[in-house]
């Protein structure tokens, strides 16, 4: 494996064909991002590649531009059901986003057909598109295997294989599906793997499926974008909804994504915001594809001010101009925090990320700080503050709703303690990075006073789904 030297240059210096440069100019892209300038020359040369980069860094163009150029430079008669390039993506939203981006990049090329297939919708339009013949297929693993089993798709003609957001596909339980799919494509191919992190399982996939790959790593793994202003508010579970409404009282919070840990929690938060006159909608795995697309369209168009989502959407949403990200519930996996807040400060812009931390979530906050190797400054809001210390709120739930009374064994299990039957170990499974975070967190910054943060500083402030869900 070799490391590519990443340097910023002009797209015109990367060896791209004139129609692709014309498309880039049309959409206003003139300067490549680091992942693009590092990956494109190697991919044009036919090399396999591992790309380690966060969301919002331009990975789609990094693999899409050389893919389009190689396919059009070596035209083949189009065959029914037999695509030439395959891009695997973990979620419907990400698959659709990739398809839209590639169509923009191919707008000045002749005869390039692109199709997107995923679950949650009918088969007929997808099988019809494949029957007509496509050059590039973007697919979620579950639906792709369904189509293969129905003999609606033949993968024996694949020349280029892309595994996008590989670590997310691993989190969603697609590892076995990926292995089945790779076994169906020719061994002689170009293989690309993109991931925000490189856990052991993904490193194993790369070793098994890539041949002497180039490696382009534009940012250290599990680090956050520098232009994101991160803050944490220590707040009781029962006050989270009121805190969110309070922050959204500033009109400069124009486009906000709120992340919850559960689908039920996402629904409740969206419903409460709607009751307070704030245009909001929830998006998660239990929503139909039509409902998800409607919510995303409303959010992009500015009809919805707030999108409430589970981690399903952490990497699949590419909406420009997201000013704020709120972690209503802290995630169990520290890496998910990085992907969540990556929805803002995209393509060089700045943004703000606010985390709500209840007393029983402080271990999660510490895990996030260890993983990201930085302490998150505390924003002190006296009206919502809770005193420091390991407190567990009584009668409260993650989404701020009253919690049903639980038996003592269930309570022990929820707190991560054994109940004597080998249960209650979920908390112990939280992964932690090496302890390299600072020992002391920066002092709390009150909301007003000399030398302190004000609401203007933060945008007033500063103006995993079920496995196989996407079959």
- Answer yes or no: is 466 within a domain: no
Enclosing H/E stretch for 2: strand 2-3
Judged against a pLDDT cut of 70, whether residue 221 lies above it is answered with no
Tokens of 159: 């020349």
Enclosing H/E stretch for 170: helix 166-171
- Answer yes or no: is 303 within a domain: yes
Average pLDDT on 433-454 reads 41
Do 48 and 111 belong together in one domain?
A: yes
- Answer yes or no: is 189 within a domain: yes
Do 191 and 82 belong together in one domain?
A: yes
Q: 34 near 111, Cβ under 8 Å?
A: no
Do 309 and 254 belong together in one domain?
A: yes
Percent of the chain with pLDDT over 70: 76
Q: How confident is the model at residue 343 (pLDDT cuts 50, 70, 90)?
A: confident
Among the three residues 217, 245, 262, which one is the final residue of a domain in this structure?
Answer: 217
Do 279 and 182 belong together in one domain?
A: no
pLDDT computed for residue 418 by the predictor: 38
Residue partners of 338: CB distance under 8 A and separation at least 6: 54, 196, 222, 223, 224, 371, 372
Do 300 and 207 belong together in one domain?
A: no
Q: 382: buried, middle or exposed (CB in 10 Å: 19+, 13-18, 0-12)? A: exposed
Do 187 and 258 belong together in one domain?
A: no
β-strand partners of 357: 234
Specify the CATH number for the domain of residue 127: 3.40.50.300
β-strand partners of 25: none
Q: 415 near 351, Cβ under 8 Å?
A: no
- Answer yes or no: is 12 within a domain: yes
Instruction: Decide: helix, strand or coil at residue 334.
Output: helix
Domain holding 426, by residue range, is 228-458
Q: 384 near 244, Cβ under 8 Å?
A: no
Do 201 and 245 belong together in one domain?
A: no
CA dihedral (117, 123, 128, 133) positive or negative: positive
pLDDT computed for residue 388 by the predictor: 54
Nearest to 265 by CA among 294, 286, 247: 286
The per-residue b/e assignment along 408-429, b for 16 or more CB within 10 angstroms, e otherwise, is: eeeebbeeeeeeeeeebeeeee
Average pLDDT on 100-110 reads 95
What is the rounded average pLDDT for all residues in the chain? 81
Q: What is the pLDDT of residues 29-52, one digit of tens each?
A: 888 989 999 999 999 999 999 999
- Answer yes or no: is 468 within a domain: no
> Which runs of consecutive H residues, i.e. helices, occur in 237-312?
240-247, 263-275, 289-301
Which DSSP string do the residues of 85-107 spell out, in sequence order?
A: EEEE-SSHHHHHHHHHHHHHHTT
Do 129 and 255 belong together in one domain?
A: no
- Answer yes or no: is 470 within a domain: no
pTM beyond 0.95: the answer is: no
Residue partners of 452: CB distance under 8 A and separation at least 6: 445, 446
Q: What is the pLDDT of residues 360-381, one digit of tens each?
A: 999 999 999 998 888 999 998 8
Do 143 and 240 belong together in one domain?
A: no
Tokens of 256: 């906000």
| Distance between CA atoms of residues 364 and 432, nearest Å | 9
Among the three residues 217, 252, 284, which one is the final residue of a domain in this structure?
Answer: 217
Do 256 and 203 belong together in one domain?
A: no
Under DSSP, the state recorded for 57 is S
Split into its structural domains, the chain has a count of: 2
> In the β-sheet with 85-88, what is the strand arrangement from edge to edge?
2-3, 214-217, 49-52, 190-195, 160-163, 85-88, 136-139, 114-117
Average pLDDT on 296-313 reads 88
Do 281 and 312 belong together in one domain?
A: yes
- Answer yes or no: is 464 within a domain: no
Q: 216 near 193, Cβ under 8 Å?
A: no
Q: What is the pLDDT of residues 268-277, one digit of tens each?
A: 999 999 999 9
The total number of residues shown for the chain amounts to: 471
- Answer yes or no: is 324 within a domain: yes
Judged against a pLDDT cut of 90, whether residue 184 lies above it is answered with yes
Among the three residues 170, 192, 217, which one is the final residue of a domain in this structure?
Answer: 217
Task: Report CA-CA distances (Å) from 230 to 233, 291, 320, 356, 460.
Answer: 10, 31, 19, 11, 14
Do 183 and 99 belong together in one domain?
A: yes
């Amino acid at each position: 494996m070799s490391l590519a030297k990443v340097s910023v240059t002009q797209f015109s210096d990367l060896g791209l064909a004139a129609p692709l440069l014309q498309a880039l100019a049309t959409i206003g892209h003139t300067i490549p991002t680091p992942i693009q300038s590092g990956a494109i020359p190697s991919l044009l040369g036919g090399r396999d590649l591992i790309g380690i980069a966060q969301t919002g860094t331009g990975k789609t163009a990094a693999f899409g531009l050389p893919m389009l150029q190689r396919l059009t430079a070596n035209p083949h008669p189009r065959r029914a059901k037999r695509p030439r390039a395959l891009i695997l993506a973990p979620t419907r939203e990400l698959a659709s986003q990739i398809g839209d981006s590639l169509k923009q990049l191919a707008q000045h090329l002749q005869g390039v057909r692109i199709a997107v297939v995923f679950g949650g919708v009918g088969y007929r339009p997808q099988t019809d598109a494949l029957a007509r013949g496509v050059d590039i297929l973007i697919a979620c693993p579950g639906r792709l295997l369904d189509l293969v089993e129905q003999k609606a798709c033949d993968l024996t003609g694949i020349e280029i294989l892309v595994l996008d957001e590989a670590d997310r596909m691993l989190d969603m339980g697609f590892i076995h599906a990926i292995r089945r799919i790779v076994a169906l494509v020719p061994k002689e191919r170009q293989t690309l793997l993109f991931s925000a992190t490189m856990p052991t399982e993904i490193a194993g996939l790369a070793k098994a499926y890539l041949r002497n790959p180039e490696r382009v790593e534009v940012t250290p793994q599990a680090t956050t974008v520098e232009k994101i202003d991160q803050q944490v508010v220590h707040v009781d579970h029962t006050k989270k909804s009121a805190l969110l409404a309070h922050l959204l009282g500033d009109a400069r919070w124009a486009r906000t994504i709120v992340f919850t840990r559960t689908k039920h929690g996402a629904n409740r938060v969206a419903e409460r915001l709607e009751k307070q006159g704030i245009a909001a909608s929830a998006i998660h795995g239990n929503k139909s594809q039509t409902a998800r697309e409607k919510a995303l369209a409303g959010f992009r168009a500015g009809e919805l001010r707030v999108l409430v989502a589970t981690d399903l959407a952490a990497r699949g949403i590419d909406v420009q101009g997201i000013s704020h990200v709120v972690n209503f519930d802290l995630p169990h996996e520290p890496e998910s925090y990085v992907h969540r807040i990556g929805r803002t400060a995209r393509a060089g812009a700045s943004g703000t990320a606010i985390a709500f931390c209840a007393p029983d979530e402080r271990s999660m906050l510490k895990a996030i700080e260890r993983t990201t190797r930085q302490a998150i400054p505390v924003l002190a809001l006296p009206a919502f503050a809770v005193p420091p210390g390991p407190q567990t709120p009584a009668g409260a739930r993650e989404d701020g709703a009253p919690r049903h009374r639980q038996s003592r064994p269930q309570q022990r299990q929820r707190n991560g303690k054994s109940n004597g039957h080998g249960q209650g170990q979920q908390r112990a499974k939280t992964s932690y990075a090496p302890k390299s975070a600072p020992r002391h967190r920066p002092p709390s910054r009150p909301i007003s006073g000399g030398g302190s943060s004000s609401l203007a500083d933060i945008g007033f402030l500063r103006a995993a789904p079920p496995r196989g869900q996407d079959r």
